[in-house]
Amino acid sequence: MFPAGRLGTVCVRTATNYKRMNGLGKESVRQVEIGDDAVGQRIDNFLARILKGVPKSHLYRILRSGEVRVNGRRVGPDARLARGDAVRIPPVRTAAPQMSAAASPRPARALPIVFEDDALIAVNKPAGLAVHGGSGIAHGLIESLRAARPDARFLELVHRLDRDTSGLLLVAKTRPALTALHAALREGAVDKRYLVLVRGRWRDEKRVVRLALHKYATREGERRVRVDDAMGRESVTTFRRQRVFRAHEPPMALLEAELGTGRTHQIRVHLAHLGFPLAGDDKYGDFAWNKVLAKEGLARMFLHAWRLALRHPSSGATVALEAPLPAELAGYLQTLEQGEAVGA
């Protein structure tokens, strides 16, 4: 998403007049011509980028109803934009800009930059930090990064990590880089690996898990995922055993998880379905066990994106990135190792 008022080479053909109505602004119909900075972007993400403050549910509604048109035609939310496309955007009510300092994104807090060049940034995201604002979160990593770099013309998330997951996160600095990296992700050309700690005696040195996953919403509106062969999408995770802690009660295992697909909550749901709940997982894990872990010193989910390998979107050279375990996870593993030494 571009910062407000920064549309790159997207050209707005008709002027937009904002009216203040009970704290909300209302736009007139706009015809937007797509330029280089939006080529290849999905229409739903494009709308979210330029219609700040509009709930995603409303964006999908105006897409379904045909109020949004590309070159005069209705399109689905996954339609991708091309240079010169004419996008009709209907009048929508958006939250009026708030000028208070409290509402403004704060500059990024000493985010560890693992890699940066003219095309991309790799950040070692800490746990507890959302990657973007929304759903009650004023601002996330990407908004803070933009606030810290006001002169940057383009900063977009390449992929996402859950708020409670730490580790490597890619941010594109150009539209061509974003398009190339998205294509690489779709083609499975990005090697993404995580370190996870689970309950149970994991016996296989290597195990490939193929379980179809289906997204749904609870009655309370919470987003969840379940294994569902009939309705789910193919999902593949390869687990490799790193260490088994037999002296701990219950036994635990440190695994590396390699993603073959990138479904929502994929690793967490696969592990829960197999009977190896992820330590600290407050959505799919063992809640009573999580309380015990917290008393032992593990107060967060043990899920860390530790390695990324990909072809550079500009040069084509292989880029291999690693982020070591954060102190709180490394410290808990050290405690488990000490327990193994005593029990030996």
Query: What are the catalytic residues?
Result: 162
Hey, which residues does 199 pair with through a beta bridge? 252
Q: What is the Cα–Cα distance from 178 to 170, expressed in whole angstroms?
A: 10
Contacts of 61 (CB under 8 A, 6+ apart): none
